[in-house]
Amino acid sequence: MIPQKASVLFRQNYYTDNHIVINQGGTSSGKTFAITQVLFCLACEAEKLVITVVGQDIPNLKAGALRDAQSIYYGWAGLQNLVKSYNKTDRIFEFHNGTILEFKSYDNAQDAKSGKRDFLFVNEANGISYDVYTELALRTKQKIFIDYNPNSAFWVHDYLIGKPNVQLIISDHRHNPFLSAQTKEKIEALKDQDLEQWRVYARGLTGKITGLIFNNWFICEEIPAGAKLVAAGLDFGFTNDETGFVMVYKQNGELWVDEKLYNTGLTNTDISARLIDLGIGQHIDIIADSAEPKSIEELRRLGWKIAGAKKGADSVNNSIDILKRYKINVTRQSVNLRNELGRYKWRTDRTGRTLNEPVDSWNHLIDPLRYVALNKLRSAGRIKRNSWLAPRPDKHVAFREMGMLL
Ligand SMILES: Nc1ncnc2c1ncn2[C@@H]1O[C@H](COP(=O)(O)OP(=O)(O)OP(=O)(O)O)[C@@H](O)[C@H]1O
Ligand SMILES: [Mg+2]
């Protein structure tokens, strides 16, 4: 059983004799989609298998492998006939032949000791610790698939690549025939911004991305009950760029940020309707990209309390300086903002020298955060040092802080 729309990556992963197949690659090369297709095929072909897809956490899975799984499932009638049920809450596909395909995340190595499986897919493996991987791999009978963007070397490079029975496939957007020309152009355009990012995200080569701008952010589970809303930030996008909307709160001198919108194709009327659907009241302050006065005026006429961010020659650097003074807590569900923060870096020139401006990409949620900083946090007092700079016990968070996860 082969899907109709299969890329070269599907064939490479499907017809392999190796125990471990590593899919290193640039962004949007089709890694996750192809491996998920392979898992569906394997699930249909044999009885009573257990197939586990693991991600850093559930929001990451929902934005990655699970999203691809749903789009494959709903777009493939032949597959739907073989699936007995899909439990959205538990994220388990159960097949008529008794096989299950489950999507899970594990808090630690102990947690990962539970259960055995036939096939394992480690989605965005640089967000998973080696301990957790090892426990899962030990309990996997047949094959292990791994995918990631190689922004820096990690345990896959240290312990797996080059070993017997391990296949390495390096892919990039040129291997994905299902991607729009605009998306391909956008990825290639990284070349003009930052060669190191281009190597990683457009060519899938292992990088050593340095110069990350924010290392003062942490994952939190939710916005604390007593936190006070500072304002919301809005960045306009449409065809190629996402419209981004974040809510910024303050409590105990720390910022708490929650992503609300991250979509292309939204008109101003759509944005307004989506915010209302999200239960966001029209009384809150919204700070938006001042380069779009017409959109700001349109939203104002739709009833929103919206203003343009302050302009100024140094506004980008100023707002970064302001944000760096805070401990920034980002909700776990803010997957796209977490991604952007993990990639946001200073530009480098061709010789590798760091420039005094950020790479102008993957900033559709960071920009609105900056707008809020410019208009609402300018006079903020400095936070006490040390309170949050101490090492944290949580391994996953520590791992992320090392800039290892995208
Ligand atoms: N076989 C396919 N059929 C239809 N669409 C596909 C197929 N393969 C990939 N795509 C499209 O390409 C997009 C990018 O693919 P995918 O998410 O698998 O890339 P990726 O390599 O995992 O990227 P990243 O490294 O950013 O996670 C998918 O969201 C999907 O829209
Ligand atoms: Mg992927």
Q: What is the pLDDT of residues 166-198, one digit of tens each?
A: 999 999 999 999 999 999 999 999 999 999 999
* Of 178, 263, 361, best ligand 1 pocket probe by most atoms within 8 Å of the beta carbon: 178
Where do runs of H (alpha helix) occur along 75-120? 77-82
Q: Are 190 and 345 in contact (CB under 8 A)?
A: no
What is the domain partition of the chain in residue ranges?
8-182, 217-401
Ligand 1 within 6 A of CB of 27: yes
Give the confidence band of 396 by pLDDT, cuts at 50, 70, 90.
very low
Residue 312 has phi, psi (to 5 degrees) of 160, 150
Long-range CB contacts for residues 68-71, cutoff 8 Å, separation at least 24: 68/32, 68/33, 68/36, 69/36, 69/40, 69/93, 69/101, 69/103, 71/33
What integer pLDDT is reported at residue 379 of this predicted model?
55
Judged by average pLDDT, the poorest of 28-37, 223-232, 370-379 is 370-379
**Mean pLDDT over the full length of the chain:** 92
- Looking at CATH, the fold of the domain delimited by 217-401 is given as Nucleotidyltransferase; domain 5 (3.30.420)
pLDDT of 233-255, one tens digit each?
Answer: 999 999 889 999 999 999 999 99
What integer pLDDT is reported at residue 378 of this predicted model?
66
Ligand 1 within 6 A of CB of 31: yes
Which residues keep their CB under 5 angstroms from ion ligand 2?
A: 32
Q: Are 234 and 245 in contact (CB under 8 A)?
A: yes
Q: Are 188 and 197 in contact (CB under 8 A)?
A: no
Q: Give the 3-state secondary structure percentages of the chain, helix then strand then coil, rounded to 5.
A: 35, 25, 40
Ligand 1 atom at minimum distance from 171 CA: 21
Dihedral sign, Cα of residue 247, residue 341, residue 262, residue 31: negative
- pTM tops 0.85, yes or no: yes
In this predicted structure, the answer to whether residue 325 has a pLDDT above a threshold of 50 is yes
Q: Are 98 and 109 in contact (CB under 8 A)?
A: no
What is the assigned CATH class of domain 8-182?
A: alpha beta
Question: What percent of the chain has pLDDT above 70?
Answer: 93
